[in-house]
Amino acid sequence: MELTNVPHVASRFFFFSSCACRGRRTGKTVIAAAAAGSTCSTDSEPIEQKNVDFLSGPRSPLCYRRRDFASVALLPFLLPRVDLASAAESIDGSVIQNGVRNVLSKGKAAGMVRLVFHDAGTFDIADKSGGMNGSIIYEVDRPENTGLNKSIKVLGKAKEVIDRVQPVSWADLIAVAGAEAVALCGGPEIPVRLGRLDSSTVDPAGKLPEETLDAAALKTLFSKKGFSTQEMVVLSGAHTIGGKGFGNPYIFDNTYFKVLLEKPQASSAGMPAMVGLRTDWALAEDDECLRWINLYAGDQAKFFDDFKDAYIKLVNTGASWRSA
């Protein structure tokens, strides 16, 4: 169900009823809120929610900042609400959204969007392994995930608070955080369907792109995840925020594509190493990718529209869902 009478908040989320659901690999019934720190060892067993700091061990509920907890807990009562009967059985997206907003800042936005790609980007269409399942929290030691522990730790704080009101899966939390990060930096508003289940195991390694790949290899890699060249190019536009040197690191706009067209890597002014990755430059050297780069460089609205669609596809990729 999509709420329509809560402006800004409700129109951005889909809601699903029931707290009982299917285990993602076994098909047995489990509690939906699989989480790090759970005592569950297999995803066929019921999962008990605990108030733990997954990075630094058990934590007392007294540690919660009262202001954060109060703002998340009270929000559902302050905002216009859907009818109570359906809300009682649903995920209230505003609780997750507000919890994320309490910990998010422009400085943390790029890390959140990268976190989304590194959770969902493990998907392999051949065997349906990987995908948007929260397993990134077990994979932070992998070289390609260097630095993402900071983003996970930030979201862990939000999760502790949100879980006190309504259990949230890591997969849902990360999907919402990425969308919030994009919007916070001035990018498109992205509706996020809710109800993803978490995996309790790591995804296969070696599925994310290495920065040495050329355009042909990138296309092959993304196609194995079900993504077209256009979707790969538009998603790569996320590099416009963060530390890769495309414009303002806190503003989500189409500067990435404009800068790629300027070919900074070919400059003799000492700029090349400072701007972008080899994979970014590789896109600009491929005719098919270049057509999309030209389009998005000249039409930011089109970039925003297409990024929104590709982001929705990314955060739904390989996800298992709570039963309605």
- Active-site positions read 118
Check residue 124 and report its DSSP letter. B
Closest CB to ligand HEM among residues 166, 279: 279
**Residue 82: partners with Cβ closer than 8 Å, 6 or more residues away:** 1, 3, 5, 6, 10, 90
Confirm or reject binding of residue 211 to ligand HEM (CB under 6 A): yes
Confirm or reject binding of residue 243 to ligand HEM (CB under 6 A): yes
Candidates 229, 279, 317, 320; binder of ligand HEM (CB under 6 A) is: 279
- Count CB atoms within 10 A of the CB of residue 322: 20
Angle at 82 between CA 158 and CA 185, to 5 degrees: 40
Tell me, rounded to whole angstroms, the distance of Cα 228 from its chain centroid: 19
Structural contact between residues 224 and 124, judged by C-beta atoms closer than 8 angstroms? yes
Confirm or reject binding of residue 147 to ligand HEM (CB under 6 A): yes
Give the Cα separation of 317 and 43 in Å (integer): 20
CB of 220 to ligand HEM, least distance (A): 12
Confirm or reject binding of residue 265 to ligand HEM (CB under 6 A): no
**Secondary structure (3-state) at 199:** coil
CB of 321 to ligand HEM, least distance (A): 21
Confirm or reject binding of residue 277 to ligand HEM (CB under 6 A): yes
Binding span for ligand HEM by CB under 6 A among 109-117, 263-271, 285-293, 296-304: 109-117
Structural contact between residues 303 and 234, judged by C-beta atoms closer than 8 angstroms? yes
Closest CB to ligand HEM among residues 80, 147: 147
The residue number with the shortest CB distance to ligand HEM is: 242
Binding span for ligand HEM by CB under 6 A among 53-61, 233-241, 266-274, 289-297: 233-241
Give burial (CB, 10 Å; 0-12/13-18/19+) of 115.
buried
Confirm or reject binding of residue 226 to ligand HEM (CB under 6 A): no
Confirm or reject binding of residue 242 to ligand HEM (CB under 6 A): yes
Closest CB to ligand HEM among residues 89, 214: 214
Number of H helices, E strands in the chain: 12, 6
CB of 115 to ligand HEM, least distance (A): 9
Q: Structure tokens of 47? A: 């999962």
Candidates 93, 156, 209, 264; binder of ligand HEM (CB under 6 A) is: 209
Give the Cα separation of 251 and 254 in Å (integer): 9
CB of 183 to ligand HEM, least distance (A): 14
Structural contact between residues 103 and 115, judged by C-beta atoms closer than 8 angstroms? no
Candidates 35, 103, 238, 319; binder of ligand HEM (CB under 6 A) is: 238
Give the Cα separation of 312 and 308 in Å (integer): 6
29-31 and 20-22 beta bridge pairing: antiparallel
Candidates 114, 193, 207, 308; binder of ligand HEM (CB under 6 A) is: 114
* Residues written for the chain: 324
CB of 244 to ligand HEM, least distance (A): 6
- Which spans of this chain sit near ligand HEM (rule: CB under 6 A)? 110-111, 113-114, 117, 146-147, 209, 211, 218, 235-236, 238-239, 241-244, 277, 279
